Amino acid sequence: MFAPEQRLTNEGGRAAPKPQQPAAPLGLKKAPKQWERTFVGKAKDVKFQLRIIRDESGRLIGRYMATPGSNAGWHVEGVIREDNSFILKGTDNNAEFEGKFSPDGKKISTSFSNKTSSGEFKVESMHMGFAFVPVRMAVPKPAEQQSASPSNSSPEQNAENEVTPGELQAAIRAAQETAKTLGKSFTSSSKVHVEAILRHCKKAGITDLNQVAYILATGIWESNGFTALREKYDSGWDPEDYFEQKYGCNPTKTLKSDNRRLADGISAQTILAKRRERNIMELGNTKPGDGYKYRGRGYVHLTGKAGYTRAQKEIVEPSGYKIDGKIPNIVENPDLAASDRDLAGMIIAKGMMMGLFTKKRLSSYVTGANVDFTGARRVVNGTDSASLIASGAARASQLLESNSDGQGEGIEELTTEERDAVRNIPKGGYTQEELQGIIKGVEIGSFKGISAYYNGPIEKQTWANSFGAGGLYYGWKWQCVEFVRRFTHLNSGVYLYEKGHAGTWFKNHVQDGQKGHSGHPQYRNYDAKTNLRTGSRTKPEVGDVIVIGTSTYGHVAIVAEVNDENIVIVQQNVETKFTESIPMSNKNGKWILGSQVLCWIRPK
pLDDT digits (tens, 9 = 90+) for 83-118: 889 999 987 788 999 999 988 777 899 999 998 777
Q: Which domains does the chain have, with CATH numbers?
A: 35-130 (2.40.128.30), 164-231+296-407 (no CATH), 411-603 (3.90.1720.10)
DSSP class of residue 506 equals S
Confidence at residue 90, expressed as pLDDT on a 0 to 100 scale? 85
Q: How confident is the model at residue 31 (pLDDT cuts 50, 70, 90)?
A: low
pLDDT greater than 80 at residue 369: no
Angle at 308 (CA atoms; ends 154, 313), nearest 5 degrees: 35
Terminus-to-terminus CA distance in the chain, angstroms? 29
pLDDT greater than 60 at residue 477: yes
**Mind listing the pLDDT tens digit for each residue in 330-347?**
999 999 999 999 999 999
Q: Where are the beta strands (DSSP E) in 382-514?
A: 411-413, 443-447, 450-453, 465-467, 473-476
The answer to whether 504 and 493 have CB atoms below 8 angstroms apart is no
**Which residues does residue 555 pair with via DSSP β-bridges, in sequence order?**
548
Cβ neighbours of residue 368 closer than 8 Å, sequence gap 6 or more:
208
Question: At how many degrees (to 10) do helices 165-182 and 209-222 cross?
Answer: 50
- Could you tell me which residue, 223 or 15, shows the higher pLDDT? 223
**Mean of the per-residue pLDDT values for the chain?**
82
pLDDT greater than 50 at residue 529: yes
Query: Helix, strand or coil for residue 86?
Result: strand
DSSP class of residue 553 equals S
**Residue 432 CB neighbours (<10 A):** 7
Instruction: Let me know if 560 is exposed, middle or buried by CB neighbors in 10 A (0-12, 13-18, 19+).
Output: buried
pLDDT greater than 80 at residue 502: yes
Instruction: Determine the Cα–Cα distance for residues 344 and 193; give it in Å rounded to an integer.
Output: 9
Among the listed residues 1, 17, 9, the one whose alpha carbon sits nearest the alpha carbon of residue 508: 9
The answer to whether 343 and 337 have CB atoms below 8 angstroms apart is yes
**Mind listing the pLDDT tens digit for each residue in 284-331?**
999 999 999 999 999 999 999 999 999 999 999 998 898 888 999 999
Q: Sheet holding 450-453: strands in order across?
A: 411-413, 443-447, 450-453
Bond prior to 478 in cis (omega within 30° of 0): yes
Among the listed residues 31, 3, 5, 15, the one whose alpha carbon sits nearest the alpha carbon of residue 590: 15
Q: What residue spans of 223-298 are helical by DSSP H?
A: 239-247, 259-263, 268-281, 290-293
The answer to whether 139 and 34 have CB atoms below 8 angstroms apart is yes
The answer to whether 185 and 225 have CB atoms below 8 angstroms apart is yes
Least confident of 19-23, 65-69, 275-279: 19-23
Instruction: Determine the Cα–Cα distance for residues 115 and 225; give it in Å rounded to an integer.
Output: 50
pLDDT greater than 70 at residue 140: no
Instruction: Determine the Cα–Cα distance for residues 382 and 543; give it in Å rounded to an integer.
Output: 44
Least confident of 39-48, 132-141, 525-534: 132-141
Least confident of 6-10, 205-209, 349-353, 479-483: 6-10
Instruction: Determine the Cα–Cα distance for residues 517 and 601; give it in Å rounded to an integer.
Output: 7
pLDDT greater than 90 at residue 567: yes
For the segment 553-573, the average pLDDT, to the nearest whole number, is: 93
Instruction: Determine the Cα–Cα distance for residues 40 and 43; give it in Å rounded to an integer.
Output: 10
Instruction: Determine the Cα–Cα distance for residues 122 and 322; give it in Å rounded to an integer.
Output: 51
Confidence at residue 28, expressed as pLDDT on a 0 to 100 scale? 61
CA dihedral 479, 483, 486, 488 (to 10 degrees): -130
Confidence at residue 440, expressed as pLDDT on a 0 to 100 scale? 75
Backbone angles phi, psi at 347, to 5 degrees: -70, -45
For the segment 404-432, the average pLDDT, to the nearest whole number, is: 67
- Please state, for a pLDDT cut of 90, what percent of the chain lies above it: 48
Structure pTM?
A: 0.48
The answer to whether 324 and 279 have CB atoms below 8 angstroms apart is no
Confidence at residue 342, expressed as pLDDT on a 0 to 100 scale? 92
For the segment 46-71, the average pLDDT, to the nearest whole number, is: 78
- Could you tell me which residue, 472 or 257, shows the higher pLDDT? 257
CA distances from 427 to 89, 144, 337, 441, 461 (A): 57, 73, 62, 21, 19
For the segment 69-78, the average pLDDT, to the nearest whole number, is: 73
For the segment 464-486, the average pLDDT, to the nearest whole number, is: 86
Least confident of 17-26, 74-83, 92-101: 17-26
Confidence at residue 5, expressed as pLDDT on a 0 to 100 scale? 30
Confidence at residue 485, expressed as pLDDT on a 0 to 100 scale? 94
Cβ neighbours of residue 491 closer than 8 Å, sequence gap 6 or more:
169, 448, 450, 543
Amino acid type, 286: T
Q: How confident is the model at residue 29 (pLDDT cuts 50, 70, 90)?
A: low
**Mind listing the pLDDT tens digit for each residue in 166-217?**
677 788 888 988 999 999 988 877 888 998 999 999 888 888 889 999 999 9
Cβ neighbours of residue 7 closer than 8 Å, sequence gap 6 or more:
530, 531, 532
Confidence at residue 490, expressed as pLDDT on a 0 to 100 scale? 84
**Mind listing the pLDDT tens digit for each residue in 419-467?**
777 777 666 666 777 777 777 788 888 888 788 998 888 888 888 888 8
Instruction: Determine the Cα–Cα distance for residues 197 and 400; give it in Å rounded to an integer.
Output: 14
CA distances from 505 to 483, 537, 562, 597 (A): 14, 20, 22, 12
Instruction: Determine the Cα–Cα distance for residues 316 and 312; give it in Å rounded to an integer.
Output: 5
> What DSSP letter does each residue of 519-572 carry, written as one string?
G-BEEESSBTTT-----BSSPP-TTPEEEE--SSS-EEEEEEEE-SSEEEEE-S
Cβ neighbours of residue 5 closer than 8 Å, sequence gap 6 or more:
532
pLDDT greater than 90 at residue 559: yes
Confidence at residue 170, expressed as pLDDT on a 0 to 100 scale? 81
Exposure string over 565-578, b if 16+ CB within 10 A, otherwise e: eebbbbbbbbbbeb
